[in-house]
Structure 1
């Protein structure tokens, strides 16, 4: 029966919650089952490795105050999303909790195993001594069963309450069954007891849990680079500087950052200065930020004598780094196709194993098997069927892959992104701001008197220093070195006349007059003086570039050609993708000339470069490429294409709209992160498929084998533990990979200088 959903209420996505008290993936499925049955809840995903709960539904049904009591009824605790530091502390506590129980299990279990080994080997001189040793074996097993195994029984009971029995039910029944069978055999005078089975089952599962916890801790390290410390900040209140904790700084406040300090909050600059963005972006070269530009928390102010002043646009919790962390955790909390498949398999495997275990006993007796052997076979079925490996197969690989992507400079948001990325066939790039830097630079300059270039550059610096035109920044970078930005020895502007969209006419303090702008504007002004632009002022070789013409009272003075240069790793990235066999395209709304020129610079053939495309035309062209497709774009006009693509990727400097519409965001300058992301996705999906195939094959074959032939419970325990450990280590291998094969090229390395 389907639950009735409230009508006429908007379904929304709740903030992420943290679930405390989980012991394994069965706990996650149990809580998920409880929440799914609630009226008003449409989608739920409980992610065990990160202990997070993602939920969608009507607003009143998905509030924390409504959900928490339902979760508490089965023994768990639901809270607001914990900070990354708290998650580390929780996992540290879990590690100590597991270590203590593992120590108890190992110390006492060692004597149980030794006693069992002596009995199995026939090394004892008499039956009476064997009986005593068997009782000793049981005595040493009690601390292991009653203390070290307690978390399994608790989790098993909780999943039963949730009507979603999982592997902990099987483990608990296996341990209890081993004890009951052993006690019955001892009562009858037999010494072939199975206390060692119960001990090994608990100890090996504890070892697996501990390794798994270390792997989860490793996955959390991806967030450490984004976590900013709590610091004291100088804030201006009533024109007086006051020192307050960064958490208390409100939106719109004015704060100061001293030279050498890390910028604690996102904001708009009210003074200018040089800023090192390497902490957040990986860009090795500091950048000059002018007044009015946006800066982000995590960057470091290098700048001069005076403090950097900014107006806060995002307080703690709303900063760009905070949103990246939340987006990554939201991605991890949701499930892709393979993980959903694994959980469906595990969901029917546990009940099937319970039924099979119950039926094995009477079936064996009907076929003439003795009571003792029939009981042992039923016990082996319960032990070998534990779907530990199935439950861990996909989430651990996904966690490792997303963590590796973050460490390589890519933040993932979409739960299915890794699985889709592994199968991508075609990749399309936007031009401006994606394959290019989004800032024009001077390609070529022709001067009336080339020997006077130094004097011309100083005058040009004064002319364009205060301009906000996009080309002015390129002229300024060409005209002067950083240390000369405040050079007062050259002539300064005295009067400025603007011609919107065309150029400027200006007068300097030394009396010189300049016209600066398009060839049409400057040419028209020269005609008024009875002069013409000379032939050398126009170079057809640079028709694709933006042209700035300068004239003075004597006539034409200079022509400068500017173009938006490709990012430093564009050519290497395109070459690597072409070698890997991807279909590539560049789709831009820019003119054909600049698009073709950029294609030549980065190595794209002319037929792969599409110019003058509207946002709708971009998306239509993208859908015609072989799918699945990947689109990389940074602007508002790219949002439609980002949505139309199988996976959308936003570059580091992308607009807010593009970042929201993309499944992944590059955290380093350039587009080299695309190559790293694709390689990580392939390795992650490969690990997912390997884990899922092996765990499913193991459980299917093991169940069939243990039913038709007698397998000692201890062997079943070892087989079950080996399968779980192999899945965990395979995921850990992915997480602990130091470098990716694509990083052999320095141009593609995440921390390479740009």
Structure 2
């Protein structure tokens, strides 16, 4: 049944309808969410094409009719200003365009910030107190400003030029025009215009035309560069899920040749039907059947099962899982894109693409805001020129409109709140990774938990020792631990860990029976520990131990029998222990009115038992990773807003698909890469705290946005009326930014009253 479900899901991902081809393109030149929207719109205008552009990974997923070639798609994107090329067929590379872009922005930001400090001081001093000007002061200001407004601001100029070529406008357009206009008019002022005159005082300098505002152009560049840098860094982390998946796959495989020798080849060259060797600690390179050997395979990352699975000849294995002990010879049944592992990559990628379609509020509004500001600036200049005939006054008024409307506060509204929240979250064991999904946090009504490693410790522990009459618990555990110490099985480790003997016993004549258990001689007595049916063979099982076994297995626990000589003397139950913080965290969520759900790959009995222990409302058990995604999709289709808490590779697609993903920081890189919130500490108390911090963060961002736009709406008419020269407009813009930053800094106090 499991194999059928997995196969159906994989078919769903790779099978195309008749006459339709699925193509993936790497898209370059995208600098904001609106770029992804424009690139997607460009592709969807082509007949026979359906496309989705993932801004987080810079990948376009296209379903195209057979008569549409890759060259046609790339040409369309290229004409829109986004060079593209077909993506390689193998897993995503380790190359990270967002990380490279962030490093580039950081270099520009560092240079701009260093030059901006003296530039701002000198510009204000020369403008307000003209007597401080010395011979060549104009050249000093120009030398300080030129690298900032040209090289540092180049990403904005390049984007604005690309937008202009295609008749569109974004925030980059307004930034570029504002920086260019302020710089050009400042140069004219200080070399040819009012800057050559001496003012009669501070009032004249502030309200008249004798003002210098190169620091306005530089300040806009510095502040917006800072915002873009932190955004790019967040995007880089968001896109790392696919790179983490690629890193976990086997890179090479030892193929078994006809003469019995082995040949190591790249995993991508493995073909169906070939046999390959997997040794302890190695990843299995493809889905297949075990042709020879027996081993314990750690499948928890792919299936959510809490304990290793024993496989032997004739059993099936999944690519991407790890052999813990033993040597396997596997016959490849599904390779490359047909493996379940590759299907996992596609699930994460598709889920991320859906999430990336949600654009930031600023990008949505900019489609209307930017053109309106440009029109108002032109109308202001023309109006003042017609009314007064004074070119200087007309240009100054138009420039004031551009500067006062330049989105410095808007650019800071989200990144500053995210920076402060991230810093405070780190102190609380919480890492807020991005802002897109946080827009839905106020509406979250359902929280889904994974089980293994999330609600539970992820490590098997002894939960009970039932002894037959005449046997002591401590003696039984000590004898069992002595024998199990020779085994690497997870259950064996749990038994050894549970023994509290300071002077452990020693077993001799150790023997292991694959998939059954172990035997050894302890103090002259033959001790057997293992599967109940194997240990009980030829021995009498006391009624109370049989009842304990039945009751424990009904609760989903693993039971091993211990025999001393010819008598079964104990039953040891092993289970994945529940975290101490789980019940309190679930109770806090329920008190907040949230519905809780446990979705796991484990069996129903175990899942229901764990849910009852922690107080979770509903359970969905025995589901594969794609099944978790289906559960989330079904809930969202019913109108629910879903948060997902998980830690394994199998949780990656679900974390990406949920409205809000929360990953346990000790989990896999894939889960961490796909989530929006990382719980750095292992305590689940961080879950309700993280949701609270997320809500407060998005509320702060919204307040910042309201202030930024409200300030522009109120200030633009004043600038149009000629009551602001660009220097005052620049000061007002800086004050607006100060308010946004101050509001964001309030997040530093979050959680103080909750005892954190």
Q: What is the TM-score with the length of structure 1 in the denominator?
A: 0.64
Q: Per the alignment, do residues 13 and 247 of structure 1 end up closer, same or farther by CA in structure 2, a change over 3 Å counting?
A: closer
Task: Judge conservation of contact 1:233–1:255 (CA < 8 Å) in 2.
Answer: no
Matched, 1:191 2:196: yes
CA RMSD of aligned residues (A): 6.9
Q: Counterparts of 2:752 and 2:735 in 1: how far apart (Å)?
A: 29
Query: Aligned-pair distance for 1:155?
Result: 2.7
Separation of aligned partners in 1, 2:565 and 2:466: 20
SS in 1 for 2:466: strand
Confirm whether residue 577 of structure 1 aligns to residue 596 of structure 2. no
Aligned counterpart, 1:96: 107
What aligned pairs does 1:119-518 form with structure 2 within 5 A after superposition? 120-123=128-131, 151-174=155-178, 175-176=180-181, 179=184, 183=188, 191=196, 199-212=214-227, 214-216=229-231, 218-219=233-234, 220=236, 223=240, 226=244, 228=247, 235-236=254-255, 238=257, 239-240=260-261, 254=276, 272=295, 327=348, 331=352, 334-335=355-356, 339-364=359-384, 371-387=391-407, 389-390=409-410, 393=413, 417-427=437-447, 435=455, 443-451=464-472, 489=509
User: Is the CA contact (8 Å cut-off) linking 2:448 and 2:598 kept in structure 1?
Assistant: yes
State the alpha-carbon separation in 2 of the partners of residues 124 and 435 from structure 1: 68
Aligned mates of 2:219, 2:159 — CA distance in 1? 17
1:489 aligns to what SS in structure 2?
strand
1:41 is displaced (CA, Å) by 5.0
Matched-pair contact (CA < 8 Å) for 2:441–2:691: yes
1:118 aligns with 2:138: no
Residues 1:713 and 2:710 aligned together: no
CA distance in 1, matches of 2:155, 2:434: 33
Tell whether the 8 Å contact from 2:468 to 2:542 is kept in structure 1 after alignment: no
Please give the alpha-carbon distance, in whole angstroms, between the structure 2 residues aligned to 1:393 and 1:140: 28
Other-structure match for 2:10: none
- When residues 264 and 600 of structure 1 are mapped into structure 2, their CA distance, relative to the original with a 3 A threshold, is closer
Instruction: Give structure 1 stretches of 5+ with no counterpart.
Output: 1-7, 527-531, 616-632, 746-754
Offset at residue 352 of structure 1 (A): 0.3
Mapped partners of 1:76, 1:179: distance in 2 = 29
C-alpha distance in structure 1 between counterparts of 2:267 and 2:602, whole Å? 43
* 1:235–1:255 contact (8 Å) kept in structure 2: yes
SS of residue in 2 equivalent to 1:356: helix
Q: 1:66 aligns with which of 61, 72, 88?
A: 72
Provide closer, same or farther for how the CA distance between residues 87 and 359 of structure 1 changes in structure 2, counting only shifts above 3 A. closer
Superposition map of 1:505-584 within 5 A: 538=547, 545=555, 565-567=577-579, 569-578=581-590, 582-584=594-596
Aligned counterpart, 1:649: 644
Cα distance change on mapping 1:515 and 1:733 into 2, 3 Å: closer
What's the offset of the Cα at 1:440? 9.0
Who is 1:529 aligned against? none
Contact 1:349 1:387 in 2 (8 A): no
Q: Secondary structure at the match of 2:443?
A: coil
Deviations 1:593-634 (A, max 9, x none): 9788645643x3xxx6568x899xxxxxxxxxxxxxxxxx87
Q: Deviations over 1:136-172 (max 9, x none)?
A: 8679867766666555443322111121123444344
1:688 corresponds to 2:692: no
Distance 2:341 2:424 in 1: 20
CA distance in 1 between partners of 2:738 and 2:709 (Å): 14
- Preserved CA contact (<8 Å) 2:545 2:570: no
Shift of 1:380: 0.8
Aligned to 2:26: 17
Whole-angstrom CA distance in 2 between matches of 1:289 and 1:660:
25
Cα deviations by residue, 1:11-41 (Å, 9 ceiling, x for unpaired)? 9986463423x56677666656645544455
Structure 1 residues 421 and 387: alpha-carbon distance in aligned structure 2, compared to 1, 3 A threshold:
same
Q: Is the 8 A contact 1:43 1:57 kept in 2?
A: yes
Deviations 1:714-746 (A, max 9, x none): 332344466568769988999xx999989989x
- Residues in 2 aligned to 1:741 and 1:635: alpha-carbon distance in whole angstroms: 38
C-alpha distance in 1 between matches for 2:442 and 2:374:
37
Give the alignment partner of residue 700 of structure 1, picking from 713, 720, 723.
713
Offset at residue 712 of structure 1 (A): 1.8
Question: Which shows bigger deviation, 652-661 or 80-89?
Answer: 652-661
CA 1:587/1:205 → structure 2, altered by over 3 Å: closer, same or farther?
A: closer
Deviations 1:397-455 (A, max 9, x none): 78999999999999999996433344323446577997566979552413143159857
In 2: Cα distance, 1:144 partner to 1:536 partner: 79
Q: Does the CA contact (< 8 Å) of 1:428 and 1:585 recur in 2?
A: yes
TM-aligned CA distance change 1:724 to 1:322, over 3 Å: farther
- Work out whether residues 12 and 57 of structure 1, in 8 Å CA contact, stay in contact via their aligned partners in 2: yes
- Conserved in 2, the CA contact under 8 Å of 1:101 and 1:147? no
Tell me the CA shift for residue 489 of structure 1: 1.9
Give me the whole-angstrom Cα distance separating, in 2, the residues matched to 1:595 and 1:289. Answer: 18
Decide whether aligned partners of structure 1 residues 658 and 210 sit closer, same or farther in structure 2, where only a CA change above 3 A counts: closer
Decide whether aligned partners of structure 1 residues 327 and 700 sit closer, same or farther in structure 2, where only a CA change above 3 A counts: farther
**How many angstroms does 1:360 deviate by?**
1.4
Greater CA drift, 717-726 or 677-686? 717-726
Give the Cα–Cα distance (whole angstroms) in 2 for the partners of residues 78 and 399 of structure 1: 32
For 1:78, which of 54, 68, 84 is the aligned residue? 84
Shift of 1:649: 2.8
Whether contact under 8 Å (1:577, 1:675) holds in the other structure is yes
Report SS of the residue matched to 2:375: helix
Cα distance 1:327–1:451, how it changes in 2: closer, same or farther (>3 A)?
A: closer
1:627 corresponds to which residue? Answer: none
Q: Deviations over 1:672-717 (max 9, x none)?
A: 3754653563354235324432332232223233223521213323
Q: Is the 2:253–2:265 Cα contact (8 Å) retained in structure 1?
A: yes
TM-score normalized with structure 2 length? 0.63
1: distance between equivalents of 2:425 and 2:328? 33
Looking at structure 1, the residues matched to 228 and 338 of structure 2 have their Cα atoms a distance apart, in angstroms, of 27
Residue 476 of structure 1 deviates from its aligned partner by 10
Q: Which moved more, 1:157-166 or 1:206-215?
A: 206-215
Number of aligned residue pairs: give it.
Answer: 676
2-structure distance, mates of 1:287, 1:653: 13
Q: Is the 8 A contact 1:30 1:163 kept in 2?
A: no
